[in-house]
Each structure stands twice: as C-alpha cells, then as structure tokens.
Structure 1
Amino acid sequence: MSSSLPIVISVTSGKGGVGKTNVSVNLALCLSKLGRRCVILDADLGLANVDVVLGLTPERNLFHVFHEGVSLSDILHPTQYGFSILPAASGVSEMLSLSTGQKLELLEAMDVLEDSIDFLIVDTGAGINDNVLYFNLAAQERLVVVTPEPTSLTDAYALIKVLKLKHGVDKFHIVVNMAKNEKSAKDIFAKLYNACDHFLTGVSLNFVGAIPQDKAVRQAVIQQQPFCSLSPDTDASLAMQRIARNVAQWAPQDHLDGNIKFFWKKLLFAE
C-alpha cells in the first residue's frame, strides 16, 4: 500500500526523434533504484515503442483492454529493471483517437494500480494532436524533452503555447537531451524560456537537467536496453541519475488531486 498518492508525469515533446521514450525508460529505472515504484504508460497509442526500446514482446496491450475486455492487470508487464510497463499497440489505427467510452474504461481500470505505485510516467506521442494534448492535460507534471535542433525548440514552444492558451496549463519542466555540454544546454533552455516569457504571460519553465551526447546511449538503443543499466557510469547515465533525484523530490503533498483516478477523470472530461 502506497503511503501517499501517486504522481502522474507526462514525458512529452513537440517533435519526434528527441529521445523522449529513452528519457521515460531511464527515468523510471533511476527512480526505481531510488526506491520509488514506477509504471510507464505507453501513451503513443498508435506508434508505441516503449516495449521495443526495452527488447520486450508483450502478448497483450491497451488494444486488448479496449477490444477484448482484458484488465490493466492482465497487460501490466514487469521488467528486469524494477519498473513495469503498460504497453500500447503499434500500427493500429483504431488506437490513434480515444473515444469517451474508452477513457471511461481506463478510468475504472486504473483503480488496480493506485495503491501500489509512486509514479505513473506517461510517455506521450509527439506534437499537438488530440491524444498528446489529452495526456498532457491529465498529468500533474509535464516533462518536455528538447534537443539542440532549432525545430525541436520551435515545436516545443508550439506545444507549450497550445497547452497554455487553449487549456490554461502554465507549468512545465524542461530536459535538454543530446546536449553538447552544460553551457549549451542552459543556452537552449534560455531561448525557450525567453520565447515563453515574451509571448506567453504566466508560463513557468523549470530546468530539470541536461543529458549530454553519449555514444553509450546509441549503443544501448541498439541493444534494446536502458543506457543507465548497460553503462551506468557514463556521462549520460550520471546526468539521468541527477534528473531522477530531482524528480524524486517532487512532493506528493503538493498534488492533492494527484491520484491516478483523478488523472483519468481529467482525461475523460478534457475538452
């Protein structure tokens, strides 16, 4: 039984290819090593790849919850790294848009997890489509992953702008991935911060950390393992551990609405 309510974190981005799923997986691993109980929900519903990054082949996924009546417990897939995943389907067009009924199904199904985890990490798709916006609206904390590419910053700003102007979301955490160095990462954050400060009144951006370019990350992707497990002492892994320690300090008492059922209620009734 969890002593406090779980915190729901979306890991999101304005564009694909920024390493969002890699951040989700390694964050879950590092939080698990800190004694936190974590589940990753693969919320890139039509192009799921959390299982691929981990080299797993689950027999069932969210498609089976919606279309075959199985429970979330049936698809909850433990990993050797101390956390579990709720896998989604890949290449299934029916999963690209959730109906109100499907959101209600998930609302009821989530009860089984609420007392047994500390963090639900929601690995969203990229961009500003309905599913991405839904999951970001429903989370208590939003971790936006950016890279040094100009298009990454532009698209991250677009995501933040839509969530702020259309839905009133004003708090975001930023992770700079594939950074050349710490100074470069802070410069990238400053550009995003200045754009938001200039054009979007009341947006709060928090720099959580930077993950440097590291050959070990690429090697881990090829071997379908988290880089923090395959090469725990490299620069990228040490940076990820610092980010996880930061995230682990996010206090549950600051999230009185932060239980998982509330997450799904918000998801269900999001406009």
Structure 2
Amino acid sequence: MASSFPLVFSVTSGKGGVGKTNISVNLAYCLSKLGKRVLLLDADLGLANVDVLLGLAPSLNLFHLFHEGARLDDIIYATPYGFPILPASSGVSEMLELSTGQKLELLESMDTLEDKLDYLIVDTGAGINENVLYFNLAAQEKLIVLTPDPTSLTDAYALIKVLKYNHGVERFKVLVNMAPSPSAAREVYIKLYRACDQFLSGVSLDLLGSVPFDPAVRQAVIRQQPFCHLLPQSEASASLRQAAERITTWEAATELDGNIKFFWKKILFQEQSVA
C-alpha cells in the first residue's frame, strides 16, 4: 500500500443471520494470507462472537478497556490464523451503548496501531442502533452483507437509508452471501441498486462479489475455524479469496481521512457539535 496509514472498513448488515461475522473472519484470514497486516475488531459489543467462530477464549476484551483499566495491547488477542482480534464481550448490557468518553478512549488507544496495520476490519452489530451507526461512520469503506432473503434486502436498504439521510454517507460496497448462483446474487444486488437509485439519490453501490451457499461453511462453523482455512478448495473459500484480492485494490488511506486517530476523532467531534 502506498500509504503508511491503514484502511479501515466495516462489515455490516441490516439484519442478523446473514453471515456477517463469518465473512469478517474469513476476509481477515484471506487478507493475512496475501501478506497484509490485519486486525479484526469485534464491534458487536454486547453480542460478540468473533472469538466463538474462531474457537478462542480470550480472558480480556473491550469491557476491560472501558471498565477495568486494561490497555489495548493487553486485549489484542493473537489467533492461529495469521491475524489478531480485538474481542468484545457478550451478554454485558453496559457495552450496548458507548459513551462519548468511551469512544474517545477507544480511538486514542487505536492510535498506537497506525503504523502496524494495513487493514482494520470492523465487524459491526446488525441493524441501525447507535453503536452500529458509529462504527460504520468511523470506517472509510462500508461493506454491506446481505442474502437473497427479502427481509435481508429490506433491512440492508434501511441501513443505507439511515446512513445516507442522517449522516450523509453515499458510498457502499455490497457482498451477497449464501447465494444459490452467481446470477441470483447479481439479481439481489440489482434489486438493492434500483431501490437506492430510485429513492436515495446520490448513493453509490459497488458489488464486491458473492459467496455461494456452501455446506462447507456450516462445517467450518461447527469446527470453529475459518472456512477458508479448513476447506480452502470449497466454492465459498474461492469466492472470499477473490473478494479479498479486490479489497487490496481499494484506495489506501490518506493522512487526511485515513489516519485512525484523525478519522475517528473527526466522527467524535461531529457528534459533540450536534449535541
């Protein structure tokens, strides 16, 4: 990458059950296999499961950063798959909404990682709650994951609509998961594109790719391993590798909008100016 600053992208969805976290984990794996320095941040703060998908049991997580004085370096957890994770907690109500002070604490801690990363992947929660919107705003690129399920399409549109009208976000990437065929995935993308084109003027949607419905994915989830690691010859793995290669062509961060500290602080200051 031409710049020393990492590219921050969110993996997000309008509804749960679309495989968003699995996509995040496997993109992190594939990018690391391409020689990139990757950190996966579990930003589903109250219902975290990145560690579960990887069969890991970190003793510390973001709860300890916010409530028990832990340092970021204490929380970052190495995985056997070539990339570390920043785990969150599950079933902890205090993590459902971050205060302005906690957001500042997190971004200042993240500042120490700027020279150590090529990519920060932010696995958000699903829906349109405050944390989901915050972490999407704090990312340079937003990758929307959806499936052929009509409710997934509707909820993806709702997330895009909120980010567009409430926060001025107009550029999104799209990945269709669990697609029965490439043509079916393309059809899902076209439906979302047409809805945005008709009702959300100015929104840009770029299809990153699609991942087929593949029994290998379920097998890997049960084994608690990335499917791209466990079953690299599967169709789903091939599709994710292609998506990861496309991500490496995304424009690298610049000092003006890519520096983690500056970028996240800009979001925080916008929030304070509105308050």
Aligned to 2:157: 157
Q: CA deviation at 1:125?
A: 0.2
Aligned to 1:15: 15
Runs of at least 4 residues off by over 6 Å: none
Distance 1:147 1:89, change over 3 A: same
Amino acid of the structure 2 residue aligned with 1:202: G
The separation in 1 between residues aligned to 2:270 and 2:227, in whole angstroms, is: 35
The separation in 2 between residues aligned to 1:132 and 1:28, in whole angstroms, is: 20
Greater CA drift, 48-57 or 109-118:
109-118
Q: CA deviation at 1:112?
A: 1.9
Amino acid of the structure 1 residue aligned with 2:235: D
SS in 2 for 1:124: strand
Q: CA deviation at 1:266?
A: 3.5
Does the 8 Å CA contact 2:5/2:254 hold for their aligned counterparts? Answer: no
The one-character-per-residue Cα deviations of 1:78-131 (angstroms, maximum 9, x if unpaired) are 111111100000000000000011011112211221110100000000000000
Aligned to 1:188: 188
| Paired residue total | 270
The separation in 1 between residues aligned to 2:243 and 2:268, in whole angstroms, is: 30
Q: CA deviation at 1:269?
A: 3.0
Unmatched 5+ stretches in structure 2: none
The separation in 1 between residues aligned to 2:235 and 2:85, in whole angstroms, is: 26
Q: CA deviation at 1:262?
A: 2.4
Amino acid of the structure 2 residue aligned with 1:78: A
Does the 8 Å CA contact 1:174/1:209 hold for their aligned counterparts? Answer: yes
Does the 8 Å CA contact 2:170/2:204 hold for their aligned counterparts? Answer: yes
The separation in 2 between residues aligned to 1:6 and 1:91, in whole angstroms, is: 31
SS in 2 for 1:205: strand
SS in 2 for 1:5: coil
Amino acid of the structure 2 residue aligned with 1:234: S
Distance 1:173 1:48, change over 3 A: same
Amino acid of the structure 2 residue aligned with 1:22: N
Normalising by structure 1, report the TM-score.
Answer: 0.97
Q: CA deviation at 1:259?
A: 1.6
Amino acid of the structure 2 residue aligned with 1:158: A
Q: CA deviation at 1:251?
A: 2.1
Q: CA deviation at 1:264?
A: 2.5
Greater CA drift, 21-30 or 258-267:
258-267
Does the 8 Å CA contact 1:10/1:143 hold for their aligned counterparts? Answer: yes
The separation in 2 between residues aligned to 1:52 and 1:133, in whole angstroms, is: 24
Among the aligned pairs, what percent are the same residue? 68
Normalising by structure 2, report the TM-score.
Answer: 0.96
The separation in 2 between residues aligned to 1:65 and 1:46, in whole angstroms, is: 14
What is the root-mean-square deviation of aligned Cα atoms in Å? Answer: 1.2
The one-character-per-residue Cα deviations of 1:173-197 (angstroms, maximum 9, x if unpaired) are 0000000010000000000000000
SS in 2 for 1:115: helix
Greater CA drift, 116-125 or 105-114:
105-114
The one-character-per-residue Cα deviations of 1:228-261 (angstroms, maximum 9, x if unpaired) are 0000011000000000000011121567411211
Aligned to 1:64: 64
Does the 8 Å CA contact 1:41/1:122 hold for their aligned counterparts? Answer: yes
The separation in 1 between residues aligned to 2:53 and 2:166, in whole angstroms, is: 33
The separation in 2 between residues aligned to 1:163 and 1:3, in whole angstroms, is: 27
Aligned to 2:134: 134
Amino acid of the structure 2 residue aligned with 1:6: P
The separation in 1 between residues aligned to 2:253 and 2:51, in whole angstroms, is: 32
Aligned to 2:232: 232
The one-character-per-residue Cα deviations of 1:196-251 (angstroms, maximum 9, x if unpaired) are 00000000000000000000000000010000000001100000000000001112
- How do residues 1-271 of structure 1 correspond to structure 2 at under 5 angstroms? 4-252=4-252, 256-271=256-271
SS in 2 for 1:252: coil
The separation in 2 between residues aligned to 1:255 and 1:197, in whole angstroms, is: 32
Does the 8 Å CA contact 2:7/2:253 hold for their aligned counterparts? Answer: no
SS in 1 for 2:241: helix
The separation in 1 between residues aligned to 2:263 and 2:24, in whole angstroms, is: 18
Amino acid of the structure 2 residue aligned with 1:260: I
Amino acid of the structure 2 residue aligned with 1:233: Q
Unmatched 5+ stretches in structure 1: none
